Amino acid sequence: MSYTTQDREEKYCDSVVESTQVKKAMKRSADDHNDDNNEPPLQKPATEEHSSVVAAHYNHLEEKGLRERFNSPIYYLRNFNNWVKSVLIQEYTDKIREKDYGRSLRVLDICCGKGGDLSKWQKARVEHVVFADIAEVSVQQCQTRYDELRARTRGGRLYSAEFIAADCSKATLRDKYRDPSISFDIVSCQFGLHYSFESLPQARRMLTNISECLKPGGYFFGTIPDAYEIVSRSKKSDGSFGNRIYNIKLLFDVEKGYPLFGGKYDFHLEGVVDCPEFLVNFKLFTKLASDYGLELIYKARFADFFKDHSEKYRHLLQKIVCFESYPPPPGKELIADEKEYEHAKQYWESKENKTERDRIGTMSTSEWEVATVYMAFAFRKLKSTWDSNGKPVYSKPREESQTTNKN
């Protein structure tokens, strides 16, 4: 069910991005996004209501114990997502240290949730992390987890941290930092940016929060649902699709086109997500990001991300246990029905010189269908100067790297 037809993707993308609406939006963005006194317009009541829905949803998510997580039907999917995030963090902290090994790294973890990446930042040996999220309860749980991590560290190396509960698509985060003059080496936004695409002002505010304290040469990376994949699957399924662990349903009339902002859909994922989200047209996202000095340097769907990094980070795949053993070891059952492993069965049967103890790593088709809804991306912050009108002019570093796209 993978959407890999580039022509169809470009048709969807271009038909949206080149519309009159986006041209007006981009002109407005270029005219006023750098005005320090220009706050986003007041949101419509529906926008305020949706923010409350998102916050309430994540505030009421129950903490899952290790035993319950292990028995979850999305156990390997969650581990795979964690692998993707770990690789992103490792890749881009390494890139910075290649240029300045002893540099103390400061991080903004925006849309941090309950702090799923707390230990990842510790392993990356960063100096300071600001955690920010819309859900106050989640931020409190994040801080509790940090305190527990600090207690376990017992005087060992652990970054300092601060915690902010705020709607990152509406609030000015800089006003909430302990040190408003702080500059970040890295901004990470995992599985949360798409909520800001409810409206243009919200997307602008999110990008302002991401970019305004990011150092030139610093990196902004993250993960989001792939709008092109969602659109493709919905076209094949009359607007609603899924399997035993997830379901996505478009909540707008596709006959009227795909809205640039506010393209709402319901996303249910077993035990994790059950609230409305918004499509992110990636070409539009890239155009908007460029207004804030952010240059796209990498994008890949999760399937391609795996191909790009699985060899280098094979040990991490095994450590995190991203894949299920097939055939299952004696006394252990598969997480899904046998029919969801037909691909693994065929591969296994084709192997020569295998023994009874040999196993291959795989994932159920249901989990893989969810994994391939997502994509990863990375931007680099450009250097800026100011023109005679007080507008920023961004320039690329001398050592210019080309964008890596995986369509």
Cα separation, 1 vs 377, in Å, equals 22
Whole-angstrom Cα Rg for the chain: 22
Please give the structure tokens belonging to residue 115: 């702090």
Residue 235 known to bind ligand: no
The response to whether 406 counts as a known ligand-binding position is: no
- 329 by Cβ neighbours in 10 Å (0-12 / 13-18 / 19+) ranks as exposed
CB atoms within 10 A of CB 17: 20
238 is in an annotated binding site: no
DSSP result, 240-292: EEE-SSEEEEE-S-GGG---SS--EEEEEETTTEEEEEE---HHHHHHHHHTT
Q: Is 43 annotated as a binding residue?
A: no
> Is residue 253 a known part of a binding site?
no
**What is the CA 374 to chain-centroid distance, rounded?**
8
Terminus-to-terminus CA distance in the chain, angstroms?
A: 15
Strands 404-406 and 294-301: parallel
Q: Is 140 annotated as a binding residue?
A: no
β 273-278/294-301 pair status: unpaired
Pairing mode of beta strands 383-386, 392-395: antiparallel
Find out whether 190 is annotated in a ligand binding site.
yes
- In whole angstroms, give the CA distance from residue 314 to residue 332: 24
Helices 282-290 and 200-211, interaxial angle, to 10°?
A: 50
Cα-based distances in Å from 92 to 177, 255, 401: 23, 41, 14
6 carries a ligand binding annotation: no
Contacts of 118 (CB under 8 A, 6+ apart): 142, 145, 146, 149
Rounded-to-integer distance, Cα 185 and Cα 218, Å:
5
| Burial of 301: CB neighbours in 10 Å, binned 0-12, 13-18, 19+ | buried
User: Environment class of residue 281 by beta-carbon count within 10 Å: exposed (0-12), middle (13-18) or buried (19+)?
Assistant: buried
In the annotated binding site for S-adenosyl-L-methionine, the residues are 85, 111, 133, 167, 190, 195
Specify binding-site residues: 81-82, 85, 111, 133, 167, 190, 195
Q: Please report, in range form, the residues annotated as the binding site for mRNA.
A: 81-82
